[in-house]
Structure 1
Amino acid sequence: MQIFYDLDKIERDENTVITLGTFDGIHLGHKKTLEKFVEKAKGINGRNLLVTFSPHPRSVLVKEKNVRLLSTLNEKIPILESLGVLNLLIINFTKEFSQKTSYEFVKEYFVDKIGVKEIVIGYDHHFGKGRDGNFEALSKMGKEFGFDVSMVEAVSVDYITVSSTKIRNALSEGDISLANKLLGRRYSFSGVVVEGDKRGRELGFPTANIEDFGDDKFLPAIGIYLVDIIVEGKNYFGLMSIGRRPTFYESGDVTTEVYILDFSKDIYGQKVTVNIIERIRDEEKFYTVEALIDQIKDDELKGREIIKKLN
């Protein structure tokens, strides 16, 4: 995949199929759009080019300091490449850029600079100042400038229309099963293993404390989850706790730690990727260490039972 941050670095090619959007989460709806986009370019032996924006437009337009993303830019790039995207333009989204109307944007970027044969767009996608750009607006521009426009219909799973918002809501409620269904894959994040307070080791369940997954990364609700964790290119099952550890602390920051099953290596400083499989329970406060240990043992038993079913 070729990645561009500068419009002027892209050679003009009239035989280009374009799609655009933030593609947060790259869920089943996005995948359907991307499949059509890739197919259209192959069908005309043309170039495919995906246009996206960073930072997320919402963080600029509504000044949300804590916009949480289902997929960071670094997570998105390899997924997009695996789905057949060959060219990626990442536009720096600023307040000034946000003032461009959809017409101004399409003419300046696609018609005058990149070259465009067809634009593929999702059924509910809007862009441009005041969100004035959509399928109807693009169709009018297509007639004026001589390009085609294709719209991709909504995708539904169990009668639920797939959207990034619905995935965020599911994750907020700890419904990882629904989130994974709408994504079409396991929800994941990557981070670095750091030293913690070694509470887990003292209890007989050493954990990998994970940080540096990005301030803008959306994590699911506090609780205990069964996960698949990738360490040094190998997959292991584990139990992940996202929480404040109320048994030991009255208050505190939310921490993320994984007890990796059947694993004993020192992996401080290693980058790991966590794929979340299933939620096991809520976080609880225990009044004795022994009660906590018993619960962790029960969590492990439940986790291993789920693993058997997966296999």
Structure 2
Amino acid sequence: MRVVVLQGSTVLDPATGLPVQLSPEPSAVTIGSFDGLHVGHRKIIGSMTGHARELGLRSVVVTFEPHPRIVLEGGGGCAVRLLTTFDEKVRQFASMPIDLLFVVRFDRQFASTSSEAFIREVLVKRLGARHVTVGYDHGFGKRRSGSEETLHELGAACGFSVDVVGEVVVAGSPVSSTRIRRLLESAKIREADECLGAPYSISGTVIEGDRLGRSIGFPTANIALSDSCKMLPAHGVYAATVEIDGKEYPVMMNIGHRPTVAENGEVRVEAHIIGFSGNLYGRFLSLKMLDFIRAEKRFASLDELRAQLDLDKKEAEFCKK
């Protein structure tokens, strides 16, 4: 999968930041933020790549970085809690039969682009769109004014066909990024994973902590998130897995303030990797969350905490996907 970035009017190689040439090759295209890459998104992308195979077209995903809401709602904060960071999203796209990932650097200037200009200038002239696939609730262009009707009208004028993919229902309700965030806020990991079609992942670099876990027999890898806007589930203890050097390990994972050992502590993500021994400082890890074990709790003593961690560890060790 080739990855390029549109910044202003220039197409860049994200690895070098240098301009690159991109030909408008006949393409099947889909467009979206794709936060979470949940089962609804996967259905849309699967439909697009299916049309690409059938029609002999290049398969292209157009997405935006940063998430448009972060730019449009401003304030310098996280207007949306991301289910997938940009790097996580790219890694997931790379596992799909996609030829080109076309990343639009989203800023206020780009936000003022009309839906018609976006279709004509980006989809048709730059990418050579011959078929466009979108979800049933897709909106694009300035103030999301572009709709299914807009696509059909411009498709007839510009020479591309349009496919609109319907909603995906899981456990009786439509899947959406908003629904998944609510599930994570309620620590309903298994339900969130079902909507995602894969375990919810939290990734980052292992940094040095205060080594308290080691002193009570539960050494942990402290994870510095790769994006501060990443969505964290409700505070508590979770079962997860992690792959290190090609081997998968069960993980007892804690997200929270650690009230037993820290007063007004910052929120931390810590992973006790069961069966692993070694130095992980500076390593990038991706933790796949499987289930909720218990809520965060203040214990009366370290001995009481240690006894509870023994129970948590057993539950995490035998948790099944």
TM-score interval, smaller chain: over 0.9
Report the counterpart of residue 63 of structure 1 in structure 2: 74
Q: Which amino acid aligns with 1:95?
A: R
How many residue pairs match? The answer is 307
Matching residue of 2:102: 89
* Structure 1 residue 193 displacement after superposition: 1.3
Contact 2:242–2:287 (CA under 8 A) maintained in structure 1 = yes
**Structure 2 residue 38 is the aligned partner of structure 1 residue 30:** no
Structure 1, unmatched stretches of 5+, are: none
State TM-score, norm by structure 2: 0.92
Contact 2:252/2:317 (<8 A) preserved: no
Look up the SS of the partner of 1:230 in the other structure. strand
Matched, 1:149 2:162: yes
Q: Does the 8 A contact of 1:126 with 1:133 survive in 2?
A: yes
Mapped pair 1:16 → 2:27: yes
Q: Matches of 1:236 and 1:130 in 2, distance apart?
A: 45
1:53–1:92 Cα contact (<8 Å) kept: yes
Partner of 1:5: 5
Aligned partner of 1:196 among 200, 209, 231: 209
- Per the alignment, residue 17 of structure 2 pairs with none
Q: 1:201-216 residue pairs with structure 2 within 5 A?
A: 201-216=214-229
State the TM-score, normalizing by the size of structure 1. Answer: 0.95
Which amino acid is the alignment partner of residue 29 of structure 2? I
| 2:137 matched residue in structure 1 | 124
Letter in 2 for 1:5: V
Give the letter aligned to residue 29 of structure 1. Answer: G
Three-state SS of the structure 2 residue aligned to 1:248 is coil
1:72 aligns with 2:92: no
Q: Label 1:92 to 1:305 Cα distance change in 2 as closer, same or farther (>3 A).
A: closer
Indicate the structure with greater helix content.
1
Equivalent residues in 2 for 1:123-272, closer than 5 Å:
123-272=136-285
Which digits, 9 at most, give the CA deviation of each residue in 1:62-92, with x for residues without a partner? Answer: 1151132111111111211212111111111
Q: Secondary structure at the match of 1:239?
A: strand
AA in 2 matched with 1:97: F
RMSD: 1.4
Unaligned runs of 5+ in 2: 12-20
Once the 2 structures are TM-superposed, how far is the Cα of residue 208 of structure 1 from its aligned partner? 1.1
Is the CA contact (8 Å cut-off) linking 1:21 and 1:53 kept in structure 2? yes
Residues 231 and 271 in structure 1, CA contact (< 8 A), matched pair in contact too:
no
Q: Which of 98, 103, 111 is residue 116 of structure 2 equivalent to?
A: 103
Q: Percent identity?
A: 37
What residue in structure 1 maps to residue 312 of structure 2?
299
Question: Contact 2:251–2:317 at 8 Å: present in 1 too?
Answer: no
Asked if the contact 1:232/1:272 (under 8 Å) is kept, the reply is no
Aligned residue for 2:14? none
After the TM superposition, which of the residue ranges 109-118 and 94-103 deviates more from structure 2?
109-118
Q: Counterpart of 1:48 in structure 2: which amino acid? A: S
Q: Structure 2 vs 1, CA of residues 44 and 243 (structure 1 numbering), >3 Å: closer, same or farther?
A: same
The runs of 4+ residues in structure 1 deviating greater than 6 Å are: none
